Chains A and B, each alone.
Chain A
């Protein structure tokens, strides 16, 4: 498992999985605390129409226009949700439900109407991603990491995902104080003169960037799961935001590694030769972690009740 085969087949998907999980978990912390957890769900549904529209415009399946299309669709969806909420005076959950399901339906319809038989573009791919296929063909072993020729053939997704992951870490660090203050006490943030609406919108946009980049590599299930499960589990571990974010990163990394290993090697242990969906397994593992946190997390109860257990 640790030899050249691992580097060739598993190293890149594993790293991409980890980066995608962390990139989604970081903004997820704030979304969960702000009770906007489902915005990730909405974004990952509207990514499909965005990608299809991008394909219709360019006629090719290539990364950059699709990422732009998906990001555009995410922004459109956020604006539409806000518009429906205000114009129709509808509660946020229902507004979200109306917008993302309609856009998703539109995406499926466009996809069916378009001739995509020559390209790899379908709904299942969008949902499940394609983590297993991101193989580093030229890798011969660990020494390939120092070989420029081999490094050049690493799938682009890895660099993209790593860049987005670093971007999320930077954004979280730079905007730490305003994010923290406006998340916990909007009134206080306003009194300090912080632009709370801009912060809120910026957070959603950052989440959209993470979602779109991750979606391209790993499909939308991981995106939704990582936005919510690791931060939610981390929330049950501590009462300090700093510690919570660290926990969430740890949980996200653990989910990605365990999920990938179970998906790739688990069936072998049961005597089956075929791997199962890594994206699905990573989501499932993050759910198990959340379940354990719900049962045993030191701060799992509502205010006050869990303190004794923690001491």
Chain B
């Protein structure tokens, strides 16, 4: 445990600190950029983009060896991967727009075919004399063991640029994500903005190849955004919360991976992120599962409360255990099931409101007001005191309720 704490404060050595900073930068960029993808409901396009990087890596390696250079130059490999990822992206776009195939089929086709082609290239490279130590497989799952300072610099610069681009483009991208038609009507080039958004995603993917690998970078793009969405209803806050969630996952994941043996960085980062997601799924206010259960219980209570009091006002016995429990707890019912003074007063009020609603429906024919009758909304919330007085005049004076047995 103390190892993790040391690592969290960048004390686990130079390489580990480098990886930690790189991972949090990458996490921030991926979280923020992925938010637009999620809001646009195209989260899985990132999967196609990520898989489409593989043939580019292979081609770049072969080209660099062919030109007599070192095939493992990271910048060269990333440039190659960016090229094929872009081609894959355009193909997804083209297929979904030009043919009758849906976008999900286009995504699946591009990701599997490009990945297959990438694997073919990797086997060719393995057979090349320079290819034996290429280690290109590390791009599948990422590898931080031999991360060089310049790799970290590439990640840092790329991540910063991606975050800056997200910041600059956040308004048009938000608009397209929420209402593409409106954006088009107000003169925006939706297709170009979409492609820019995808370009951003692609940039993050390429930067993340070295660190978490092409399969798990998808998680870094999707999970933070989904997690952040639980906590807020405002798009700008979702963007930056997703960035922070990504950064925290990256940082903590890298620290755990540096301090515990046999903990690969990429999967750990993703699992930390998945842990945050699970926590949010259950415990986020208003959108979380726990909040939904509490809301449901409160609603149930109000229904039972009202039905119970209506029974009291009509002098009917109550049998439902939950109704009894709710009313007893509020002191409206005695232990033997007889209404207390307060209970009878409440019941009279409920019964009278019910009568008021009946009158209201006769007086006001418009459904706008009386349509709000759901049995739980207090009549005072819908009508003014004057109107209620008018209803009371029509009904006549209050009649006392004598509790159980007498109406």
- Which of A's residues lie within 8 Å of B, judged by CB? 32, 35-38, 40-41, 45, 84, 87-91, 93-98, 101-102, 104-106, 108-109, 112-113, 123-124, 127-128, 221-222, 224-225, 227-229, 231-232, 235-236, 263, 267, 272, 274-277, 279-284, 286-287, 290, 294, 297, 299-303
Contact of A101 among B95, B99, B105, B223 (CB under 8 A): B223
Distance in angstroms between the alpha carbons of A217 and B25 in the assembled complex: 40
Which B residues from 185 to 223 make CB contacts under 8 A with A? 215-216, 218-219, 222-223
With a 10 A CB-CB cut-off, give which of B38, B98, B108, B137 has the most chain A CB atoms: B108
Q: Report chain B residues within 8 Å CB of A221.
A: 112, 115-116, 119
What's the A-B contact tally at a CB cutoff of 8 Å?
211
B109–A235 contact, CB under 8 A?
A: no
| B93 nearest CB across to chain A (Å) | 12
| B194 nearest CB across to chain A (Å) | 16
Distance in angstroms between the alpha carbons of A297 and B118 in the assembled complex: 26
Other A-B pairs, 14, CB within 8 Å; known A98-B222, A301-B99: A32-B105, A38-B44, A38-B108, A41-B47, A88-B287, A108-B216, A108-B264, A128-B119, A221-B116, A236-B101, A276-B124, A280-B119, A280-B120, A283-B112
Scan B240-269; emit 1 where CB is below 8 A from any A CB, else 0: 000000000000000000000011101110
A109–B268 contact, CB under 8 A?
A: yes
| A254 nearest CB across to chain B (Å) | 15
| A64 nearest CB across to chain B (Å) | 27
| B374 nearest CB across to chain A (Å) | 22
Main secondary structure of the interface of A (DSSP, over half): helix
A287–B219 contact, CB under 8 A?
A: no
Contact of B230 among A40, A88, A227 (CB under 8 A): A88
| A18 nearest CB across to chain B (Å) | 17
Distance in angstroms between the alpha carbons of A64 and B223 in the assembled complex: 33
B218–A228 contact, CB under 8 A?
A: no
Distance in angstroms between the alpha carbons of A36 and B103 in the assembled complex: 10
A98–B112 contact, CB under 8 A?
A: no
B222–A94 contact, CB under 8 A?
A: yes
| A140 nearest CB across to chain B (Å) | 29
Does B41 interact with chain A (Cβ within 8 Å)? yes
Does B364 interact with chain A (Cβ within 8 Å)? no
